[in-house]
């Protein structure tokens, strides 16, 4: 027969309940810690993926710079060798033209016109090739409004042929960037022409200049075309790469090299609403600087 000591007393019951509550609390804390660890692990995986993608992008940029540097050195030598005989051809063509004109040889003059057109085409390629070669440049404060006016005038014919209009937006009419004005005009003309050619007739090409942020001015050229195919987007700045039937494939390469020589960067992306967007980011400059403060010599970047 059991004694009264073999049965739990009333005073022992709360202790058992308290032990169960502690176990539930421990399980809850363990679950919270496990969930936090899972979130941290996922965040770390996403960060590692982002860093890998950024590293791959930087590797591509570095490789592009190395290739452009080597190509620029080669281009300078080739262009020099081509220009010597090209100058002689131009000279003899001019002399031949004078003789044919004196003897009223109209058919021969037509042939000379074709020869000189070919010479001009070769000269244009030589100029493009020389733009890849490293050289000293004079950088100064360039009023962006003046550059845009020049770009508008230079692209009127192409815009008319493509039946596309150009709209320019300038947040700060007095903003200036540090660059070579002729080189910057060339870059923006190339971007606007490409945008016009990529846009269907009746559409608009936007040239927008954002207010300076952290001493950097951004100039955007946006089109309403099909955008940049993903399979070629990372190659658009490669030399001699082009999707056009006619062209050297050097336009965007030269633009990329010039902007980096000015201490800026040129980027491309597809817009969420459709079309492509090219962004030129350049250091801001003060338009009130003296000539001595404005001008400085900057050597184009090398692969070193």
Consecutive sets of 10 residues in the chain, 304 residues long: mean pLDDT of each?
A: 50 54 81 86 84 74 68 70 83 88 83 87 77 69 93 93 92 89 92 93 93 90 89 78 72 86 90 91 72 42 34
pLDDT of residue 136: 58
pLDDT of residue 133: 65
pLDDT of residue 137: 64
pLDDT of residue 130: 73
Domain coordinates of the chain in residue numbers? 8-133, 137-299
Q: How far apart are CA 104 and CA 155, in angstroms?
A: 38
Q: How far apart are CA 296 and CA 289, in angstroms?
A: 12
Which numeric CATH code is attached to 137-299?
3.30.565.10
The number of beta carbons lying within 10 Å of the beta carbon of residue 268 is 17
Q: How far apart are CA 241 and CA 234, in angstroms?
A: 11
pLDDT of residue 217: 94
> Is 193 within 8 Å of 225 (Cβ atoms)?
no
Question: Whole-model pTM?
Answer: 0.63
């Amino acid at each position: 027969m059991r004694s009264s000591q073999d049965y739990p007393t009333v005073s022992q019951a709360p202790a058992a309940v308290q032990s169960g509550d502690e176990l539930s609390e421990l399980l809850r804390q363990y679950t919270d810690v496990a969930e936090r660890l899972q979130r941290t692990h996922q965040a770390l995986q996403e960060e590692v993926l982002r860093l890998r993608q950024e590293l791959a992008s930087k590797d591509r940029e570095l490789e592009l710079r190395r290739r452009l540097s080597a190509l620029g050195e080669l281009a300078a030598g080739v262009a020099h060798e081509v220009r010597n005989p090209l100058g002689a051809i131009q000279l003899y063509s001019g002399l031949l033209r004078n003789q044919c004109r004196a003897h009223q040889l109209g058919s021969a003059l037509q042939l000379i016109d074709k020869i000189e057109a070919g010479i001009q085409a070769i000269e244009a390629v030589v100029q493009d090739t020389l733009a890849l070669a490293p050289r000293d440049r004079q950088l100064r404060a360039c009023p962006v409004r003046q550059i845009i006016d020049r770009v508008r005038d230079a692209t009127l014919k192409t815009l008319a042929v493509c039946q596309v209009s150009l709209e320019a937006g300038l947040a700060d009419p007095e903003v200036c960037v540090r660059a070579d004005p002729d080189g910057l005009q060339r870059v923006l003309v190339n971007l606007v022409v490409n945008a016009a050619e990529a846009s269907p007739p009746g559409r608009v090409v936007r040239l927008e200049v954002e207010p300076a942020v952290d001493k950097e001015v951004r100039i955007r050229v946006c089109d309403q075309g099909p955008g940049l195919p993903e399979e070629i987007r990372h190659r658009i700045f490669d030399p001699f790469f082009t999707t056009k039937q006619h062209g050297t494939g050097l336009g965007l390469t030269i633009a990329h090299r010039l902007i980096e020589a000015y201490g800026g960067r040129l980027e491309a992306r597809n817009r969420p609403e459709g079309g492509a967007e090219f962004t030129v980011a350049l250091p801001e400059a003060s338009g009130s600087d003296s000539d001595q403060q404005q001008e400085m010599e900057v050597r184009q970047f090398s692969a070193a």
